[in-house]
Amino acid sequence: MKAIQLKAYGQPTENVGVVEINDIDTINNDEVIIEVLYSPVNPSDLLLMQGTYPRQPKLPSVIGQEGVGRVASVGVSVTNVKPGDIVTIPFGTFAWSEKVVAKAAELVVLPPNVDLQQAAMLSINPPTAVLLLEEFVSLNSGDWVVFNAANASVSHTIIAVAKSKGIKTLGIVRRKEAVDVALKAGADVVLVDDENVVAAAKKATNNAEIKLGLDAVGGKATNSIAEILGNGGCLVCYAMMSGEPINVSQIGLIFRRIQIHGFFMYLPDYVPKLKNAILQSVQLLEQGKLNVPVAKIYPPDRVKEAIQHTIDGGKVLLQFNS
């Protein structure tokens, strides 16, 4: 069967390709075989290919960190899923293959009429959004959250989850043309990160004491979030799109008691909470509240184009089965 393998760490587009691997002949009693339908190319996949992600499989290896599939067969002791069920590809199972094996207990069964393309993106960004909004501060309906990279796909899910809880969203982007993207996703306020952004944020939120800021960029962009936060606010860094170390003024840390935390969804503290976070996300998807725009769908043999498209910007999916 066809699969996409990473052969070496380094430049992503140079070290991946489609290969033929052995079909799956046998499974354990508690396992299932899943036919993969769609799987996205995520920023975390790029980091894995570059060798800078915490997960570094022995190469060559199939990669791809999330997706959606159809159960093809089940082990003799499996009772929670059946052939034909649509399921998420669980954490720890590399998805860029026509078929994968997974533990039945780790699967989330999705509604039969689920939007398959949106379902392919359920396992990383939506639970990330749920945990970011629940784990660090107690937010109430009417509170604000501020975050950068507001036009990114993960921010689409932050906005959707926040709206479901009545939380107001202040998005920061790095260029003017990204403002409409974030507003279309449902953000309440979107501002460009320039020399006036802090004052503009205070005015737009009526000087709200914002308790939670989410940083996906790093560099100077982190300090913009810190300066917008209220005294004692919590700044959570969960990605590093700029590749630069965070830059936060000591004034915020010393005099305004800004707290800085890092977040990685697969740390032991969070892994037990992932399934519930995904189930919350499934409810939002069923309600039509999760809708990340997909720029293009690629077959596996065009994976290099799909990766370059992701690097250039835009959410893309790989389609393995129909």
Q: What are the DSSP calls for 249-318, one per residue?
A: -HHHHHTS--EEEE--TTSTTTGGGHHHHHHHHHHHHHTT---PPP-EEE-GGGHHHHHHHHHHS--EEE
Element (H, E) at 46: helix 43-50
- Examine residue 60 and say whether the peptide bond preceding it is cis (omega within 30 degrees of 0): yes
Dihedral (Cα; 13, 91, 147, 114), 10-degree rounding: 100
d(CA 101, CA 29): 12
- Please check the confidence at residue 92 and state whether its pLDDT lies above 90: no
DSSP codes, 178-237: GHHHHHHTT-SEEEE-STTHHHHHHHHTTS----EEEESS-BTHHHHHHHHSPTT-EEEE
Tens-place pLDDT, residues 112-167: 899 999 999 999 999 999 999 999 999 999 999 999 999 998 999 999 999 999 99
Neighbours of 220 (CB within 10 A): 13
Domains of the chain: 2-121+292-319 (3.90.180.10), 131-262 (3.40.50.720)
Neighbours of 99 (CB within 10 A): 19
Neighbours of 243 (CB within 10 A): 9
Task: Identify the band that residue 322 occupies on the pLDDT scale cut at 50, 70 and 90.
Answer: confident
Number of H helices, E strands in the chain: 10, 15
Task: Respond yes or no: is residue 266 known to be catalytic.
Answer: no
| Confidence (pTM) | 0.92
pLDDT at 73: 97
- Please check the confidence at residue 262 and state whether its pLDDT lies above 90: yes
The catalytic position among 9, 53, 266, 298 is 53
SS3 320: coil
Task: Identify the band that residue 310 occupies on the pLDDT scale cut at 50, 70 and 90.
Answer: very high
pLDDT at 55: 87
